[in-house]
Amino acid sequence: MSPATAQPATDRSPGLLPHERLQHLLDALSRSGYECIGPKLRDGAILYEHIDSVAELPLGVAVEQGPGSYRVDMTDSRRRFGWANGPQAIKPFLFAPREILWRATQREDGTLVFDARPPACKPLAVIGARACDLAALALQDKHFLGGTCPDPGYARRRDGLFIVAVHCSHPAQTCFCASTGDGPRATSGFDIALAELDDGFVAESGSDRGAAILDGLHLSSATTAQLVAAEEQGRHSSEVQRRALPGRNLQASLFANLEHPRWQEVAERCLSCGNCTSVCPTCFCHSEAEVPKLDGDSSLHEREWDSCFTQGHSYIHGFTVRPDTRTRYRQWLTHKLGGWHAQYGRSGCVGCGRCISWCPVGIDITEEAHAICGPQP
């Protein structure tokens, strides 16, 4: 369809954002008060960081992932999102790796004053979130915002969050979101979703504020051919995935196999280093500690990412519940793929494959799950 015959995109009908106009989207978000966070190539990986310009996005970058391996390659593609993911996406922006929860100050009379005001934060717009990231976000929301005591820092940052999803077009060898049902196409939880094609982005809104931003861009409607191409790309991204978990609910199977010899076997390979849980977009474990000022008059109460692979994670006074890697790995897998069903109504795995790529020794969660649970009907 030529530009002369293109129809303007109406509310909720997909528009086409040409590659050269992507900057207009960033500008519109900035004008609306958002700080834009987008993928950048840094130190050999795709990382989500502050961006001002589309020139900072990873143009033509391809990523090859395998167990314990992540390599970037440059291509002459015009695409900026032609890769699956990097070590982290949304999680660190909401569940901060390290943050001060409160400050306690001792007054002259010895009494303590607590200050737990969460620090001010600018609303963020994350550009390029994947379907798996959004599924993970929904789970983190459940954990941090559900129940009677929502986490104030998380809540404040989450409130301001604007999400521009980009449907995954180049799943990695390590991806298995199709098997968990979380991707590769983003279906909810975004403000705007983009399908990146060679001639631009098919853009649709998922919220009123997303629609308002897109309306302001005055996009022409995507053509039927473009819609079909986007659809086709999504199907392909699903079909090329070779990894899969043995089932969507492994709770019964895992807890029936707590003494399976595979736990010891994997413990001989596992470094118990916590890389898998740190890159996992749903893992939420943390530790808290006092960081007193040198003068002893005040103290910061600090929270930081912890992992079920550390000793401190299962330490109770004078006793470490899980002293070895066998019990720690078993904790991670039985909780992630089993216990989460009872706790959050679904598995804690969204199939992003990060734990496979970023494991220094390349342990594959799907392989371990198959070994322990066997094939599921």
Partner 1 sequence: MESTAKPKVAVHKFSSCDGCQLAFLNLGAALMQVAELVDFTHFAEAGPLAPDAAVDIAFVEGSIATPDDLQRIARVREQSRFLVTIGACATAGGVQALRNLANAGEWIAGVYARPEHIHSLDRSTPIAEHVKVDLELWGCPVNGRQVLGALRALLFGVMPAQENDKVCMECKRRQTVCVMVTRGRACMGPVTRTGCGALCPSFGRDCYACYGPAENPNTAALARRFEGLGLVPEAVARRFLFINNGAPAFRDAGLKSGERHDG
Least distance from C-beta 295 to partner 1, angstroms? 6
Token pair, residue 304, equals 């930081």
Cα–Cα distance between 160 and 277 in angstroms, integer? Answer: 26
Q: Does 95 bind partner 1 (CB under 8 A)?
A: no
Q: Does 173 bind partner 1 (CB under 8 A)?
A: no
x/- letters, 125..164, toward partner 1 (CB under 8 A): ----------------------------------------
Between residue 29 and residue 88, which ones bind partner 1 under the rule CB under 8 A?
42-45, 47, 68-72, 87-88
Cβ pair 37, 48 in contact under 8 A: yes
x/- letters, 247..286, toward partner 1 (CB under 8 A): ---------------------xxxxxxxx--xx-------
Beta strands in the chain (DSSP E): 15-17, 35-42, 45-50, 61-66, 69-74, 98-106, 112-115, 124-129, 162-166, 192-197, 200-205, 220-221, 286-292, 298-305, 315-316, 319-320
Q: Does 325 bind partner 1 (CB under 8 A)?
A: yes
Cα–Cα distance between 281 and 288 in angstroms, integer? Answer: 20
**DSSP 8-class letter at 314:** G
Specify the stretch interacting with partner 1 by CB under 8 A; choose among 146-154, 190-198, 244-252, 318-326. 318-326
- Taking the least distance from each CB to partner 1, the nearer of 88 and 221 is 88
Cα–Cα distance between 366 and 186 in angstroms, integer? Answer: 22
Q: Does 307 bind partner 1 (CB under 8 A)?
A: yes
Cα–Cα distance between 75 and 189 in angstroms, integer? Answer: 31
Least distance from C-beta 33 to partner 1, angstroms? 25
Cβ atoms < 10 Å from Cβ of 367: 15
Q: Does 98 bind partner 1 (CB under 8 A)?
A: yes
Least distance from C-beta 310 to partner 1, angstroms? 5
Contact footprint for partner 1 (CB under 8 A): 42-45, 47, 68-72, 87-88, 92, 97-98, 268-275, 278-279, 289, 291-292, 294-296, 304-307, 310-312, 323-325, 357-358, 360-361
